Amino acid sequence: MNSTLVLAVLSLFVLPVVCRTHVPKVFSVLRYGAVADNKTDNTKAFKRAWAAACRWRGKSRVLIPPGSYYLASIILRGPCNGPKQFVIKGVLTAPTEPALFFIDHWITFQHINKLKIYGGGTLDGQGASAWPYNNCHTGSCKPLPVTLRLDFVNDSKISNIKSINSKNFHFNVFSCYRLNFSRVTISAPGDSPNTDGIHVGGSGDVGIDTADIATGDDCISIGPGNQGIRISNVVCGPGHGISVGSLGKSDREEGVSGVSVVNCTFRGTLNGVQIKTWPDPEAAGGFASDFMYDNIVMEDVDNPIFINQQYCPYNLCNAQGSSKIRISNITFSNIWGTSTTKDAVKLECSESNPCHNIALENINLIGPGGVASSSCSNVHGRSRAPLNPPSCLR
């Protein structure tokens, strides 16, 4: 048998393997019964499409074509056989029936490695139908659905997706590692309650890059148990800024370390960059350390730089106590812009656990009438000129 014939025969076996490995198998939700009429419940069709794609050995893709799809609460579980893609080209619309509100998720992905979610589509949480049910200010919070939960999802990417009008958080990340967000757009009214853009908890090596976030709470919130959170090129506003915390609400919380926030812009937000901890003397101590905030623009921000260790929303805590969270090794550098309040820099640390090694470098914040000031309590650190307002660190 000559060499040409041998190669031809081998190609019959090799090419299918190559194609199966490198070209994702497509599972359109339309093939599994989905209807893009914005009223048919497509939950079962989406589950069937996901189950088939998850079973497929090799790369596979669940495709949501253009159109509007009504979708009730759904959990898409792994582990799966190989890398998976969830491609949203249409609009997914959440329920507006109150009977379906009080659950912690709308769309959840669990226990999946090498997942990509992208496609240019939109997640519409229909939040206006549920926001009146948010009674957190009375101390009787009921769970409202997070638009997209990622639980135990590793080595994955979320890109080119839009989330609007979430009932609760837009994105919630829990126990995920090596996860990256890029080119996401998040939008909800500035007075919408608890609509954090991206909340990260108990995770590591998470990146958020090139995001436009306008919402009613924190644009990005970083809870306990996180390491290595990188935030860059984010435009935030309206909203409550980019926050680490709140921390210290529960006993035996894990600490937070290795957070960087760079090349970000805040527009008309309540806070800019904030670290917030509860003043509960009964809670076990945790820590927040090794943060870098650099090259940040503030445009008419109420509290541009804020360490708040007396965080007590709705007065639902023991505000007479002192926070046990230890804050250290925090650098604020190359931050400029305008503050709507005179105290543009507020470093309010715990009396029992003062902040250590806090650095202010090259700050230029202008307050009302051109005048700004800084205030410090229970904080030790250093400063390097130029600084406006003048440093309160001693």
Which of the residues are catalytic?
240
CA 5 to chain CA mean position, Å? 56
- How far apart (Å, rounded) are the C-alpha atoms in residues 297 and 302? 13
Residues 6+ apart with CB under 8 A from 300: 267, 268, 338, 339, 340
What torsion, rounded to 10 degrees, do the Cα atoms 364, 345, 286, 219 define?
-70
Which of 379, 251, 284, 271 minimizes the C-alpha distance to 327?
379
- How far apart (Å, rounded) are the C-alpha atoms in residues 311 and 319? 8
**What's the token pair of residue 296?**
């940040």
Residues 6+ apart with CB under 8 A from 338: 298, 299, 300, 301, 365, 366, 367
End-to-end CA distance of the chain: 86
